[in-house]
Amino acid sequence: MSGPRVAIVGSGPVGLDAALAVAERGWQPVVYEAGSTVGAGVRGWGHVELFTPWSMNVSTRMRATLGSAAPDVADRTRLPTGAELVSWLLEPLARAPELAGHVRVGARVLGIGRAGLVKDEEIASDARAARPFLLLVEDHDGERIERADIVIDSSGALSIPNAIGDGGIPAPGERALQHAIERTIPDIGEEPGAFAGATTLVVGAGHSAQTAVRDLAALAHEAGGTRVVWAVRDREPHWGGVPGDPLPARAELVAGSTALAGGASPDVDVRLGSSVAAIAERDGRLLVALRTRGVGEEVLADRVIALVGAVGDGTLHEQLQVHQCYATAAPMSLSAALLGSGSTDCLAQAAPSGDTLKNPEPGFFIIGAKSHGRFGAFLMQTGYAQVDEVMGLLDP
């Protein structure tokens, strides 16, 4: 391969689709994956079923690369789990001739800069564009600097979990108890004994929190003594519902959450308008002070699951000239377009234009879920459309 060297951070679906787009132009893609396997971020929620079917998760490039082995050839309508997305799509893509040898697992990008320049020098100038990117990469051999002509950040928006305290800052005691607070969707079916007969506090109202509570409620129905306390910040949450939702699995989850909030399960206590005021350890359990509709209470829980969203790692590009939205921390132009659309439904969002993906930093692009910041849902097809737009900007 010849042409520019393109560094792609993250080996999720959008990152690998970008690598395919780079390779089909005869350029040199290098995909950096911090985890020990391809799609490590997706594998972290491998037991969770997606809302969208295979047909909405396999790009045209992926389908052309895998041919008859593409997972949506046999059944385009089935909903894959995260683990299936990795095993049946991402891993075969990484082994395909187009990408073999170009995906480096266990290679974490710690920082991205511009050779000979710092953030405030040569602002959006041709001289800045002429300098190569420098990437500080850490792998099993240690740290080194590697170079690239173009950088595409598809590292995702889940790197740094939000705090559970009121106002988005850590609640008193939260930092000291980081080790005891779970921040991923638990696999209840895999470890029911860890939750059966116990009290679990779930904080958050998004689809991740709803999924965890749904599974815990099902376990509580079977295992006596299992209790769930659900702390939801909004007094009147809409649960991410969409009128006439075309995604049945999402509609079903929202309907179930609405029912639980209405008292459908005696084992699930839903606290609407609730925030975490403090958290402490007591006799091997977690004592959580909640403030619900202005009234304080204490919950003694065996486990605390915090699913209140997350943000991408902005420190990667803190030495680059990136214009970020003050509300979402995503690229300003794309955030403005999304916020201006008036919809947080991924299916209602228009495909991005190339101009919305540009940064003041020439040759640097943020795509995928990270490009949306904290703005609503993200659809894989949106990321694939972003890849097309970026390639259009880069093509001669």
What are residue 153's phi and psi, to 5 degrees? -95, 110
pLDDT score at 338:
73
CA distance 377 to 386: 15
Longest Cα–Cα distance of the chain, Å, equals 68
- The verdict on 243 and 106 lying in the same domain is no
Q: Extract the tokens encoding 158.
A: 């889940």
The domain that holds 377 is classified in CATH as: 3.50.50.60
The reply to whether 267 and 381 lie within a common domain is: no
Question: Is residue 130 domain-shared with residue 167, that is, in the same domain?
Answer: no
Say if residue 274 is in the same domain as residue 330.
no
Each residue's pLDDT tens digit in the chain (396 positions)?
578 999 999 999 999 999 999 999 999 999 999 999 999 999 989 999 999 999 999 999 999 999 999 998 888 889 999 999 999 999 999 999 999 999 999 999 999 999 999 999 999 899 999 999 999 999 999 999 999 999 999 998 777 899 999 999 999 999 999 999 999 999 998 989 999 999 999 999 999 999 999 999 999 999 999 999 999 999 999 998 888 999 999 999 999 999 999 999 999 999 999 999 999 999 999 999 999 999 999 999 999 999 998 887 888 999 999 988 887 777 888 777 777 655 556 666 666 777 888 889 999 999 887 766 554 556 788 889 999 999 999 987
Query: How many CB atoms neighbour CB 120 within 10 A?
Result: 8
Question: Which of the listed residues 260, 288, 306 is the one where a domain comes to its end?
Answer: 306
Secondary structure of 129-167 in HEC code, one letter for each residue = HCCCEEEEEEECCEEEEEEECEEEECCCCCCEECCCEHH
For the chain, state the CA radius of gyration. 22
Q: Which residue from 49, 55, 58 is spatially nearest to 89, judged by alpha carbons?
A: 58
Determine the pLDDT at residue 17.
97
User: Are residue 315 and residue 301 in the same domain, yes or no?
Assistant: no
Domain boundary among the residues 255, 290, 306 is at 306
Q: Please tell me whether residues 30 and 144 are part of one structural domain.
A: yes
Query: What letter would DSSP give residue 79?
Result: P
Structure token digits, residue 82: 């995260």
Q: Is-contact 318 119, C-beta < 8 A? A: yes
116 and 224 share one domain? no
Q: What is the DSSP letter of 81?
A: B
Say what the pLDDT of residue 345 is.
62
Beta carbons of 345 and 377 less than 8 angstroms apart: yes
User: Do the beta carbons of residue 137 and residue 108 sit within 8 Å?
Assistant: yes
Same domain, residue pair 232 and 332: no
Q: What is the domain count for the chain? A: 2
Question: How far is Cα 231 from Cα 109, in angstroms, rounded to an integer?
Answer: 36
Q: What is the pLDDT of residue 84?
A: 96
> Domain range holding 338?
5-158+310-394
d(CA 210, CA 216): 10
Last residue of a domain, one of 276, 306, 336: 306
241 and 220 part of one domain: yes
Question: Which tokens hold the place of 89?
Answer: 């799509």
On the CB side of 180, how many CA atoms lie within 13 Å of its CA? 20
CA 363 from centre of chain: 23
Does 119 lie in the same domain as 220?
A: no
* Separation between Cα atoms, residue 9 and residue 146, nearest integer Å: 13
What are 134's strand-pairing partners? Answer: 113, 147
Q: Are residues 349 and 242 in the same domain?
A: no
**83 and 188 in one domain?**
no
Return the structure tokens found at 321: 């000239």
